[in-house]
């Protein structure tokens, strides 16, 4: 635990607090082993007296400026809005330039630079697009040719051309071939990424089809039953109150008969949007069947749930379809509060009876049933529902 605390204390200032900035900064840090390997090789050559201290110090300084420069820019968060916030391509191009400088300065050991160029292409292919990877390989080959030409121009003896020409040809061919392979890997990476994205969309679609009503986007009846059962068990454990309302759109059959089923579908969608907008986020709404909807009010008393239903009812009265401005909709709703040890079937049945009382009272209203009480004959007696 102490080690974890130390890690957070150190990584916070280094990587940043924003998750995206931290992730992108870590991606830049993955280039650190390549830098360390390059500098290790250079200073080992210094130890063998094959490279001067001045050359080693110059390459070390240039490498440190490159590495920490990219770290600071990405860590600042300035690149987050860019297509490549990690700056993979610019970083790779700077690395190739450093490799070219090392090729010129390392004398007989310049052949080792080809490995560093190849490492740059391999690391970059994990982030770049296929064409960019191919272009990076071409740039590496051109950098190698330019460095070789500079070495040959600086060599007054003229021996570099004869000795280095074979490895130049092999090096350029290898870099170009590696870039082709890297492009192929990048193509596969992008294809897998697209397939994974399509798979996530398919899973989301299947999940929505299994849980949501396809027309309204509300919970379907099966999921709504599971939600009611979960709330019932939760209320029994904690002794909380909760309510259920059954809503039926008034004269909906006439809407279909007079204006057509597309208009009826638009009305159902419109009601669903109103329900999502005017009920609380914790309230659950499901399409119960046809033009009937069931609303669950968790941890809510009867009068509070009734006030919510009234807000929704008035919103529906004021709502209009653009193509049918004269069409005014309303609903009748029956609201009940859960009784101790009451089954879901009985609770929904009470809500259904209360809803029909609302219809019998003239429609366009929400009524609620006072608490259930047993009668002398052992049957439930429902006191008269109170209209809004």
- Whether the per-residue pLDDT at 8 is higher than 80: the answer is no
- Whether the per-residue pLDDT at 374 is higher than 50: the answer is no
The arithmetic mean of pLDDT across residues 357-369, rounded, is: 93
Indicate the domain borders of the chain.
2-207, 221-381
Helix (H) or strand (E) run with residue 244 in it: strand 243-249
How high is the mean pLDDT of the chain?
Answer: 87
Helix (H) or strand (E) run with residue 207 in it: helix 159-211
Q: HSE of 279 in the Cβ direction (CA atoms, 13 Å)?
A: 26
- pLDDT band of residue 10 (cuts 50, 70, 90) is low
- pLDDT band of residue 160 (cuts 50, 70, 90) is low
Residue 6's pLDDT is: 54
Residue 162's pLDDT is: 57
Strand pairing class (331-337; 284-289)? unpaired
Count CB atoms within 10 A of the CB of residue 306: 21
Share of the chain above pLDDT 70, in %: 89
Q: What is the pLDDT of residues 181-211, one digit of tens each?
A: 999 999 999 999 999 999 999 888 888 778 8
> What CATH number is given for 221-381 in this structure?
3.30.70.270
- Whether the per-residue pLDDT at 30 is higher than 90: the answer is no
The arithmetic mean of pLDDT across residues 314-330, rounded, is: 94
Poorest-confidence range of 4-13, 84-93, 108-117, 348-357? 4-13
Residue 351's pLDDT is: 96
Residue 204's pLDDT is: 84
- Whether the per-residue pLDDT at 253 is higher than 50: the answer is yes
The arithmetic mean of pLDDT across residues 99-103, rounded, is: 91
- Whether the per-residue pLDDT at 80 is higher than 80: the answer is yes
- pLDDT band of residue 126 (cuts 50, 70, 90) is confident
The arithmetic mean of pLDDT across residues 85-97, rounded, is: 93
Cβ contacts of 384 within 8 Å, gap of 6 or more: 357
* Helix (H/G/I), strand (E/B), else coil: 231: helix
Q: What global pTM score does this model have? A: 0.59
DSSP letters, 11-45, are HHHHH-SSHHHHHHHHHHHTTHHHHHHHHHHHHHH
């Amino acid at each position: 635990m102490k080690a974890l605390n130390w890690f957070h204390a150190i990584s916070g200032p280094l990587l940043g607090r924003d998750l995206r900035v931290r992730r992108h900064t870590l991606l830049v840090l993955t280039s650190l082993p390549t830098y360390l390997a390059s500098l290790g090789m250079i200073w080992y050559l210094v130890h063998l007296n094959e490279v001067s201290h001045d050359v080693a110090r110059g390459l070390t300084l240039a490498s440190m400026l490159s590495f920490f420069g990219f770290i600071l820019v990405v860590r600042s968060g300035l690149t987050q809005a860019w297509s490549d916030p990690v700056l993979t391509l610019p970083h790779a191009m700077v690395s190739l330039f450093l490799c070219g400088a090392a090729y010129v300065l390392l004398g007989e050991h310049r052949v080792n630079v080809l490995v560093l160029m190849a490492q740059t292409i391999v690391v970059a292919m994990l982030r770049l697009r296929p064409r960019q990877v191919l272009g990076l390989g071409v740039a590496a080959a051109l950098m190698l040719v330019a460095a070789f030409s500079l070495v040959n121009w600086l060599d007054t003896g003229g021996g570099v051309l004869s000795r280095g020409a074979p490895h130049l040809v092999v090096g350029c061919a290898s870099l170009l071939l590696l870039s082709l392979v890297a492009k192929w890997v990048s193509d596969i990476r992008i294809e897998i990424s697209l397939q994974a994205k399509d798979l996530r969309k398919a899973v989301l679609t299947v999940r929505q089809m299994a849980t949501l009503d396809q027309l309204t986007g509300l919970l379907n009846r099966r999921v709504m039953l599971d939600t009611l059962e979960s709330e019932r068990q939760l209320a029994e454990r904690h002794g909380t109150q909760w309510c259920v309302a059954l809503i039926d759109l008034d004269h909906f059959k006439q809407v279909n008969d007079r204006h057509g089923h597309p208009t009826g579908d638009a009305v159902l969608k419109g009601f669903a949007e109103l329900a999502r907008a005017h009920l609380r986020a914790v309230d659950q709404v499901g399409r119960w069947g046809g033009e009937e909807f069931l609303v669950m009010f968790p941890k809510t008393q009867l009068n509070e749930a009734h006030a919510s239903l009234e807000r929704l009812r008035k919103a529906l009265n004021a709502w209009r379809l653009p193509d049918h401005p004269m069409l005014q909709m309303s609903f009748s709703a029956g609201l009940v509060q859960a009784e101790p040890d009451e089954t879901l079937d009985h609770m929904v049945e009470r809500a259904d009876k209360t809803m029909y009382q609302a219809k019998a009272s003239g429609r366009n209203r929400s009524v609620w049933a006072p608490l259930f009480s047993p009668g002398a004959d052992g049957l439930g007696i429902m006191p008269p529902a109170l209209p809004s």
